[in-house]
């Protein structure tokens, strides 16, 4: 059948099972929106307040559901406003297809109104970027975009379409997408055997879990593997929920704001088994001193991650779920009871301590966990509140912590929260934000109220840029340059002005009442929590130090 380019875009999206798009229209993409109008009963379009919000919403939708997130933007500034969200998805391996439109082919390269080479701009932050100048290439390009976004290590793909292509006609033949196969051809039997041998020889193994275990849906295999190895488990920020955070083997996050138990344990282990993690600098601290007593065994789908930041003694390349399956089939149950008791003693000696008498981030997170029974999806922005969420909410399932780990994008959380709730209507979805982050994209509250998307926005309001100020306090002689936010902005009034129900709370009792009411109301709600600006995230590892040198407030007080 003969269709124009805009109709082909919509039909290709339907082929791929797309049910939701987040976007913002404009002149260059107007033909596509006109075609989309005719299919509004099949594909829901969420008009965000800003294109950045659309990209973060598509990202949150993808992380929460495991499907490809889709966002639309017009040419020029519309397209460039997606860039931060695309980069966020790229750093955290999130499958996304961003579709933008550009000026007509004759106007390309002439500095035309709202013209930008968005395919060139996004080349370093996408798995692939396309510009489509011929309508005959359109369907194939879109199908390739979805395949590339999903296969192997997932990530964002950009497809830029010139406006004349969206109007031109050509023959279109529907196709059923081929399922994306797991990467297994690279898994070598000798690598599996070497891994099994290393595990059998180990006396003090530790399992470190990253985001790859979430992406590959390896939780069941991981649990079985950990039981067979008889090892403690820690995770990265992106790996939260791949291994049940309430399991007695779990010791907390590893790295700069990881638990002392995990940091000390990894520093003492003789074998570190790394499942789908990339050895971020925030995990390793001083890489030369990282796990220096251990052999490193890494499982990863991306060959570029092997020996990139930390040298391995052995590795298996391929899909984490399949790797774990094959090792489980060959591995007998190990016994490391003395090692497990040693780690258990660390958990008793180094619990997460904080003041329970005043309203603060850790206490709020524990209350949210208690009220939701650990069954919510938590999105976060970036900063102290992000770390408190990771430390004090026990993530029992994958795809329940959505946060910008690699890029560290302030303003990410609210858009992601909206996307996650659209994709997982069955879940309570809560965004944890600092007041600095909330300012960046708080206009997306209007998106939530426009569509009555019942998200809960919790603001940890300390009137400072908390994490930056923490560094200034500890390492910059208390010179608080441009980090104090003492002004007249009233988040409750702003939120109410955008149509949300809003609360201001100063005690944990007030928070509990507001949070429970927000769940019951099932409408967009904002809770402004006033906390002390002197609160800090502990434990902490100083920049350049080994993770074994983690310190907390008690350590600082003992030095005085």
Give dist(CA 519, CA 379) in Å, integer.
Answer: 16
Q: Let me know: does 119 contact 158? Beta carbons within 8 Å.
A: yes
Closest CA to 334 of 197, 192, 220: 197
Query: Which residues are within 8 A (CB) of 68 and not within 5 positions of it... i.e. 6 or more apart?
Result: 16, 18, 62, 95, 96, 97, 146, 149, 150
Q: Does the structure show a pLDDT above 80 at 528?
A: yes
pLDDT of residue 124: 98
Give dist(CA 93, CA 282) in Å, integer.
Answer: 17
> What is the helix, strand, coil percentage profile of the chain, to 5?
45, 20, 40
Give dist(CA 216, CA 319) in Å, integer.
Answer: 7
3-class DSSP state of 459: strand
Q: Does the structure show a pLDDT above 90 at 331?
A: yes
Q: Does the structure show a pLDDT above 90 at 560?
A: no
Residue 273, φ and ψ in degrees, nearest 5: -100, 115
Chain segment 459-497, per-residue pLDDT in tens: 999 999 999 999 999 999 999 999 999 989 999 999 999
Chain segment 96-155, per-residue pLDDT in tens: 999 999 999 999 999 999 999 999 999 999 999 999 999 999 999 999 999 999 999 999
Residue 139, φ and ψ in degrees, nearest 5: -60, -45
Q: What percent of the chain has pLDDT over 90?
A: 99
The 3 state secondary structure assigned to 515-552 is HHHHHHHCCCEEEEEECCCCCCCCCECCCCCEHHHCEC
Give dist(CA 554, CA 557) in Å, integer.
Answer: 5
3-class DSSP state of 72: strand
Residue 181 DSSP class: P
Question: Which helix (H) or strand (E) covers residue 475, if one does?
Answer: helix 466-475
Q: Let me know: does 397 contact 450? Beta carbons within 8 Å.
A: no
Question: Which helix (H) or strand (E) covers residue 32, if one does?
Answer: helix 30-37
Q: Does the structure show a pLDDT above 90 at 558?
A: no
If you average pLDDT over every residue of the chain, what do you get? 97
Q: Write down all domains in the chain, each with its CATH number in brackets.
A: 2-171 (3.40.50.970), 189-349 (3.40.50.1220), 361-540 (3.40.50.970)
Q: Let me know: does 527 contact 503? Beta carbons within 8 Å.
A: yes
- Looking at residues 42-57, what average pLDDT do you find? 98
pLDDT of residue 337: 98
Indicate which residues carry an active-site annotation.
51, 113-114, 163, 467
Produce one character per residue of 1-18: b if its CB has 16 or more CB atoms within 10 Å, e if not.
Answer: eebbbbbbbbbbbebbeb
Q: Let me know: does 125 contact 83? Beta carbons within 8 Å.
A: yes
Chain segment 348-375, per-residue pLDDT in tens: 999 999 999 999 999 999 999 999 999 9
pLDDT band at 559; cut points 50, 70, 90: confident
Q: Let me know: does 266 contact 525? Beta carbons within 8 Å.
A: no
Q: Does the structure show a pLDDT above 70 at 294?
A: yes
């Amino acid at each position: 059948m003969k269709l124009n380019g805009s109709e082909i875009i919509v039909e290709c999206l339907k082929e791929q099972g797309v049910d939701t798009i987040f976007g913002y229209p404009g002149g260059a993409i107007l033909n596509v929106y006109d075609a989309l109008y005719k299919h509004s009963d099949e594909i829901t379009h969420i008009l965000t307040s800003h294109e950045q919000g659309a990209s973060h919403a598509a990202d949150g939708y993808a992380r929460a559901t495991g499907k490809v997130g889709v966002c639309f933007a017009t040419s020029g500034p519309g397209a460039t406003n997606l860039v931060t969200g695309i980069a966020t998805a790229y750093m955290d391996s999130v499958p996304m297809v961003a579709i933008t439109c550009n000026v007509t082919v004759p106007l390309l390269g002439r500095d035309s109104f709202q013209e930008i080479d968005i395919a060139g701009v996004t080349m370093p932050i996408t798995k692939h970027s396309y510009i489509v100048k011929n309508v005959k290439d359109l369907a194939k390009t879109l199908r390739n975009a979805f395949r590339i976004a999903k296969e192997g290590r997932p990530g964002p793909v950009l497809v830029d379409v010139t406006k004349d292509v969206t109007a031109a006609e050509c023959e279109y033949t529907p196709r059923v997408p081929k399922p994306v196969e797991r990467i297994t051809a690279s898994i070598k039997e000798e690598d599996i055997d070497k891994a099994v041998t290393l595990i059998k020889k180990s006396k003090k193994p530790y399992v470190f879990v990253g985001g790859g275990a979430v992406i590959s849906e390896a939780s069941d295999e991981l649990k079985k593997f950990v039981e067979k190895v008889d090892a403690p488990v820690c995770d990265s920020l992106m790996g939260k929920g791949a291994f049940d955070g309430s399991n007695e083997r779990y010791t907390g996050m590893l790295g700069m704001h990881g638990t002392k138990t995990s940091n000390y344990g990894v520093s003492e282990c003789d074998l570190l088994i790394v499942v789908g993690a990339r050895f971020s600098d925030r995990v390793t601290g001083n890489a030369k001193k990282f796990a220096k007593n251990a052999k490193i065994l890494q499982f990863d789908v991306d060959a570029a991650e092997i020996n990139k930041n930390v040298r391995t003694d052995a590795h298996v390349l391929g899909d984490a779920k399949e790797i774990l399956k094959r090792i489980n089939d060959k591995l007998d149950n190990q016994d490391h009871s003395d090692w497990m008791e040693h780690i258990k003693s660390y958990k008793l000696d180094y619990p997460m301590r904080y003041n329970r008498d005043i309203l603060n981030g850790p206490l709020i997170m524990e209350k949210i966990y208690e009220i939701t029974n650990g069954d919510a999806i938590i999105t976060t922005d970036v900063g102290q509140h992000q770390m408190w969420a990771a430390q004090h909410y026990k993530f029992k399932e994958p795809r329940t912590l959505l946060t910008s780990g690699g890029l560290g994008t302030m303003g990410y959380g609210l858009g992601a929260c909206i996307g996650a709730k659209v994709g997982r209507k069955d879940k309570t979805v809560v965004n944890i934000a600092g007041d600095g982050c909330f300012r960046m994209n708080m206009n997306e509250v209007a998106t939530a109220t426009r569509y009555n998307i019942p998200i809960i926005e919790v603001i940890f309001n300390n009137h400072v840029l908390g994490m930056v100020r923490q560094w200034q306090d500890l390492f910059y002689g208390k010179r608080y340059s441009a980090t104090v936010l003492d002004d007249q902005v009233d988040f409750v009034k702003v939120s109410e002005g955008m149509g949300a129900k809003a609360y201001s709370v100063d005690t944990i009792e007030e928070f509990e009442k507001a949070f429970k009411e927000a769940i019951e109301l099932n409408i967009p709600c904002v809770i402004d929590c006033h906390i002390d600006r002197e609160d800090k995230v502990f434990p902490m590892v100083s920049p350049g130090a080994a993770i074994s040198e983690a310190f907390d407030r008690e350590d600082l007080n003992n030095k005085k």
